[in-house]
Structure 1
């Protein structure tokens, strides 16, 4: 029997709109299993999940949040509702793929949107990432002309950022760490009606 230390990391995507499906395609492309859930009954999107690949497992929100790494691919306004699925998110990594464009700063208590989201997931380690690309780009194979499409990551937890960076590389992307949420991370967070300067930047990294 394998020890808990050897247990494979489990993944989930909460939200199965355009971004959730784009993320699902990245997992399926690389043969990595991922649970997908919404607030709806999983039977309502099971066929859409199966159409992407056998790696995409439609499940309930209650089951999905048991994963170790959870991609939050819902509307920004829905994050607090998702957070209620667990009383404590200790030891879990939440990858915040939301974009709070159009949300007045006073509604996030003046905080960067990802820092505000992090408050709802008590005990969890939040990484901002995968949100700067539109779904039509994110769903494409990230191998581009001999290079790898870039994804930007930011977190106040260095270990969590490193773990998500390792996953991003497994998915074929080139992860670039931006530092803390309220530092370099501001480049990939909207504020009010302004987009972060790196949002929508489709960059490709080439090895020398």
Structure 2
């Protein structure tokens, strides 16, 4: 994948994804709400493929992962300029625990549909959100097989691009279809939230 990849958020999820993407040989732009200087120790730890920039620069990447607390998502999206067809990967969760029903009233929408409505011109794909951060930080693949990573989105081409990224960093991508259907399964309270599933090495080889 040759697109520029940005990750908004340097918490446990953002760190894990930055590490996996960098390990796959791709460059990552990283930011947080506290300023790029606070990321210097993390950037040094993750290696030369990770660069800390201000949020506006990271959010201008070809593919941008949002890995920030839910209350900050919509306010930040409302501050950003139109996306003009760029891909926004929604790795956020509208609750503090995978098995806990959402604490936030979303008007009957999935959290990713709210993200889509708040990100003008973005092609939103939901993924990287079903595994606890501690599991997400582990190697995506072992000799026994690969961890499954689900994704969903309303734009098929965007799902293909994100699915390729998921595969490149070592996970086994499973496409769940639209945001309304697939994201409901992935978000807190959904049947896939918090579930660690694997594909066997034999399946991967085929």
What TM-score, normalized by structure 2, do the two folds share? Answer: 0.90
Q: Decide whether aligned partners of structure 1 residues 86 and 156 sit closer, same or farther in structure 2, where only a CA change above 3 A counts.
A: same
Which residue number corresponds to residue 120 of structure 1? 118
Match of 1:131, SS state, is coil
Match of 1:164 in 2: 162
Unaligned runs of 5+ in 2: 96-100
Matched, 1:14 2:11: no
Residue number among 52, 59, 81 corresponding to 1:58 in the alignment: 52
Runs of 4+ in 1 over 6 A off after TM superposition: none
- Structure 1 segment 1-208 matched on structure 2, within 5 A: 8-101=2-95, 103-104=102-103, 107-190=105-188, 195-206=189-200, 207=203, 208=206
Distance 1:87 1:182 in 2: 25
Instruction: Kindly tell me the number of residue pairs found equivalent between the two proteins.
Output: 197
Please tell me whether the aligned partners of residues 68 and 91 of structure 1 are also in contact (alpha carbons under 8 angstroms): no
Paired residues of 1:70 and 1:95 also in contact (CA < 8 A): yes
| Cα deviation, residue 86, structure 1 | 2.5
Match of 2:98 in 1: none
Measured after TM superposition, the shift of residue 85 of structure 1 is: 4.2
Q: Provide the aligned C-alpha RMSD in A.
A: 1.6
Q: Structure 1 unaligned runs (5+)?
A: 1-6
SS in structure 2 at match of 1:20: helix
- For 1:204 and 1:29, the matched residues in 2 are separated by 20
Looking at structure 2, the residues matched to 11 and 148 of structure 1 have their Cα atoms a distance apart, in angstroms, of 22
